[in-house]
Amino acid sequence: MKRIVFGKPWLPHWLFVAAAVSVACAGAALAQAWPTRPVTLVVPYSAGGSQDAVARLLSSGLAAALGQQVVVDNIGGGGGMLGVMRVAKAPPDGYQFLLGNVGTHAQSQSLYDRPAYDAVADFVPVVLLVDQSMLLAVRKDLPAGTLMEFIAYSRANQSKMQYGSAGIGSPTHLACALLNAAIGAEQATHVPYRGGGPAMQDLMAGRIDYFCFNTASIKPQIDAGTVKALAILSAARVSSLPDVPTAQEQGLKDFEVANWMAFFVPKGTPAAIVGRLREASLAALAAEPTREKLRVLGAEPVADDRLPLDRLPGFVASEIAKWRTIIKQAGTRLE
């Protein structure tokens, strides 16, 4: 007679061990087999911006580690929302993954009354990659050479001033919105673009007054004198622009805005594929020439203590909570 435990037939221990070994072997086989064709890295902004530059720099190292081509696909619009939603709805097979950031996976969850996706429930974080400083840049003929002069000018002329962004709800939008709130210039008009590249072109042409941009793509314009850099918005100066002081150094106490970037895959992607993509990402990020190029772009590879996989879900959740408080205090909301 069979032994019954809680209504289920009793099974020998060795069968459970065999099943576990079988699952582990299947996962290992899946990781070794993937990818068998090119994979797509979705950048949720147009070509030419800072996120695009980071993606293209990492893509070659990823391709070498994976043994397959990594195609960078720019899907701009909606402050990054369109590209993010495409990956959220993609088959969870590892062939489409996303370069997300603080805007797409933290700020968006509080900026909108009804976010188009759940940054925690719809994605699996793969690896945290870089931190990127942000910078206040102004048109070259704006009559302000320091942050304090900019604040005075903005307060007096805010109803006529325009600032650009990579899209509604993007980190570049929120950075300037928070800056405006901090300096008392909330009447300035927001001009959203389909990515940072077009916004930068209009800043260089003088069609907008200022732009809170990542340092990754703006250094050539600063060096060429086509725009002016007034303040680093993160807590510390950046090595690529050592002469540009921070906002805090110039008297805007406790003001800090920075951007992080990470790879994400759709929820349900097999753990073996997530692990393989993570290993390839770490290999690409570990190459010293790549790290130096990232630093030139103003993107600092994250410290080793922030890399463990089990910390990532908690990190994303904590960033959502942090920005919820900041956005509420600034009174910034989008429909």
Rounded to whole angstroms, what are the CA distances from 43 to 58, 75, 106, 234, 279? 12, 6, 16, 23, 20
Q: Give the residue among 36, 59, 50, 27 at the shortest CA–CA distance from 263.
A: 59
Domain 133-232 has CATH 3.40.190.10: yes
| pLDDT tens digits along 10-52 | 556 555 444 344 433 444 455 568 999 999 999 998 888 788 9
| pLDDT tens digits along 271-317 | 999 999 999 999 999 999 999 998 877 788 988 777 777 788 889 99
Q: What CATH superfamily classification does 31-132+261-330 receive?
A: Bordetella uptake gene, domain 1 (3.40.190.150)
Domain residue limits, the chain: 31-132+261-330, 133-232
Of the given ranges (67-71, 169-173, 177-181, 243-247), which has the lowest mean pLDDT? Answer: 169-173
Q: Distance between CA 152 and CA 315 in Å, rounded?
A: 37
The pLDDT-based confidence of 8 (bands split at 50, 70, 90) is very low
Which tokens hold the place of 34?
Answer: 């993937």
Q: Give the residue among 186, 131, 123 at the shortest CA–CA distance from 154.
A: 186
Q: What pLDDT score was predicted for residue 49?
A: 78
Q: What is the mean pLDDT of residues 110-138?
A: 92
* Residue pair 136/165 in contact by the 8 Å Cβ criterion: no
* Residue pair 266/91 in contact by the 8 Å Cβ criterion: yes
Q: Distance between CA 99 and CA 51 in Å, rounded?
A: 8
| pLDDT tens digits along 154-199 | 999 999 999 999 887 778 888 998 899 899 999 999 999 988 889 9
Q: What pLDDT score was predicted for residue 216?
A: 66
For residues 5 and 287, which has the higher predicted lDDT (pLDDT)? 287
The pLDDT-based confidence of 254 (bands split at 50, 70, 90) is confident
- Per DSSP, 170 falls in state S
- Per DSSP, 334 falls in state B
User: Does residue 234 have a pLDDT over 90?
Assistant: no
Rounded to whole angstroms, what are the CA distances from 248 to 145, 151, 274? 16, 13, 39
The pLDDT-based confidence of 328 (bands split at 50, 70, 90) is confident
Please check whether the two domains, 31-132+261-330 and 133-232, share a CATH topology: yes
Look up the pTM and report it.
0.75
Q: What pLDDT score was predicted for residue 335?
A: 62
